[in-house]
Amino acid sequence: MISLGIESTAWNFSIGVVSEDEIIALEGNAYSPKEGGIHPREAAQHHSEIAGDVLKRVFEKVSSSEIDVVSFSQGPGMGPCLRIGATVARAIALKLGKPLVGVNHCLAHVEIGKWLTNAKDPVTLYVSGGNSQIIARRGDRYRVFGETLDIGIGNAIDKFARHIGLPHPGGPGIERLAQKGKRYVEMPYVVKGMDFSFSGIVTHAMRLCDEGYRTEDIAFSFQETAFAMLVEVTERAMAYLERDECLLVGGVGANKRLKEMLETMCKERDAEFYAPPAEYMGDNGAMIAYTGLLMAEHGITMETQDSQVRPDFRIEEVRISW
Ligand code: AMP
Ligand code: MG
């Protein structure tokens, strides 16, 4: 079976085509705001302007007649952005006369991570712009064992980065600054049970930079503190659930220091650490195509009239039959 998948939850409009064995095509066009963070309507406008070109590039690599199913990111995400992807998907499905599959975006991050790393039953740390969750499968559902109480770690990093004049997305810039940090400055470490919060760190880090602390030291301290919170909860979930695999997914997963901290934690408890290649860490169409393929193979498709986007779609709502 060959599945085409469209990702459009936030900054990236991306289309992937996959079979059971390989990623056949992946084309995209990223939106980057001129100033400030991602503006949902502007991002949606971007997606609608470039969608045709991205699709054209995909169909230069794969013939449309080879497509068996059309998948799209149904949520969670920004409503206006989601609607562009869903509209394009509906149009392609109708034109080709193929079934349509609405995919949960978080589930797609987990499934492509498992597929590309061969992890079997991991505790997944999913860290992206809008989301930060610790996820593991129990029976026929993925469950969220811990998550952010306010903003996602990616948005927290981006907000701090903007304050000190770095371009969006701020993750890579903060990582480079942090590598030059020499001194740890204490930051609010907020873990409540299995949940955590990042807004306190952002406010504190911004204030210290305004007071004249070296941005390198603050970026370093920010990363050390926020990542330690994530690693603590991930480890506790692994202990509770008696799992010996840890999978890292989501755009923030590109960060070398976060990887290193998780690797150390895994080594200390004799667990395996997995992370997919950087290209498939952040939002991409291949993850939607692959999860859509799994769903279609298990008979989960939808009618066009049931394909409304779901900005608050949670991973627990999906029954897993594979
Ligand atoms: P996603 O929504 O999964 O595509 O992830 C996007 C987020 O990943 C943005 O907030 C970026 O700032 C963040 N990000 C990308 N690269 C890095 C990095 N090297 N370190 C930390 N965060 C990163
Ligand atoms: Mg994402």
- DSSP one-letter string for 13-61: EEEEEE-SS-EEEEEEEE---SSSS--HHHHHHHHHHHHHHHHHHHHHH
Q: How many CB atoms lie within 10 A of CB 279?
A: 12
Select from 157, 162, 223, 287 the residue to mutate for testing ligand 1; criterion: most ligand atoms less than 8 Å from CB.
157
Long-range pairs, 134-139, Cβ under 8 A, ≥24: 134/194, 134/230, 134/233, 134/234, 134/237, 135/106, 135/110, 135/315, 136/237, 136/241, 136/243, 137/320, 138/241
On whether the CB atoms of residues 215 and 209 are closer than 8 A, the answer is yes
Instruction: State the Cα–Cα distance between residues 110 and 12, nearest whole angstrom.
Output: 18
Residue nearest to atom 10 of ligand 1 (CA): 154
Quote the pLDDT of residue 35.
Answer: 83
Is 0.85 surpassed by the pTM of this model? Answer: yes
The predicted structure's pLDDT at residue 73: 98
Nearest protein CA to atom 8 of ligand 1, as residue: 251
Q: Are 275 and 281 in contact (CB under 8 A)?
A: yes
Give the E-state strand segments of 57-99 in sequence order. 69-75
Q: What is the pLDDT along the chain (322 residues), one digit of tens a residue?
A: 999 999 999 999 999 999 999 999 999 999 999 888 899 999 999 999 999 999 999 999 999 999 999 999 999 999 999 999 999 999 999 999 999 999 999 999 999 999 999 999 999 999 999 999 999 999 999 999 999 999 999 999 999 999 999 999 999 999 999 999 999 999 999 999 999 999 999 999 999 999 999 999 999 999 999 999 999 999 999 999 999 999 999 999 999 999 999 999 999 999 999 999 999 999 999 999 999 999 999 999 999 999 999 999 999 999 999 9
What tokens were used for 257?
């220091």
Mutate to test the pocket of ligand 1, among 112, 151, 252, 261 (most ligand atoms within 8 A of CB): 252
> Which among 3, 309, 11, 5 is positioned nearest to 168, based on CA atoms?
11
- Ligand 1 contact via 173 beta carbon (within 6 Å): no
φ and ψ of 23, to 5 deg: -90, 115
Ligand 1 contact via 246 beta carbon (within 6 Å):
no
Q: What backbone torsions phi and psi does residue 119 show, to the nearest 5 degrees?
A: -65, 140
By the 8 A CB rule, do 226 and 156 touch?
Answer: yes
Is 49 within 8 Å of 84 (Cβ atoms)?
no
At 132, phi and psi to the nearest 5?
Answer: -150, 110
Cβ of 146 closer than 6 Å to ligand 1, yes or no, is no
Q: Which ligand is nearest to the CA of 177?
A: 1
Decide: 251 in ligand 1 pocket, CB within 6 A. yes
Q: Which ligand minimizes its atom distance to the CA of 159? A: 1
Say if strands 123-127 and 245-249 run parallel, antiparallel, or are unpaired: parallel
Which helix (H) or strand (E) is 248 found in, with range?
A: strand 245-249
71 CA to centre of ligand 1 in angstroms: 24
Which protein residue has the closest C-alpha to ligand 1 atom 17? 171
CA distances from 284 to 140, 161, 281, 292 (A): 25, 23, 8, 13
Q: Report the nearest atom of ligand 1 relative to the CA of 131.
A: 2
Structural domains in the chain, sorted by start: 3-108+283-317 (3.30.420.40), 118-279 (3.30.420.40)
Place of tokens 């054209």: 56
For ligand 1, say whether the CB of 158 is within 6 Å of any of its atoms. Answer: yes
130 CA to middle of ligand 1, Å? 10
How many helices (H) and strands (E) the chain has is answered by 9, 12
> Is 285 touching ligand 1 by the criterion CB < 6 Å?
no
Locate 228 and state its tokens: 């330690």
What's 302's DSSP letter? B
State which ligand 1 atom lies nearest to the alpha carbon of 127: 3
pLDDT score at 294: 98
Q: What angle do CA 164, 170, 172 make, to 5 degrees?
A: 120
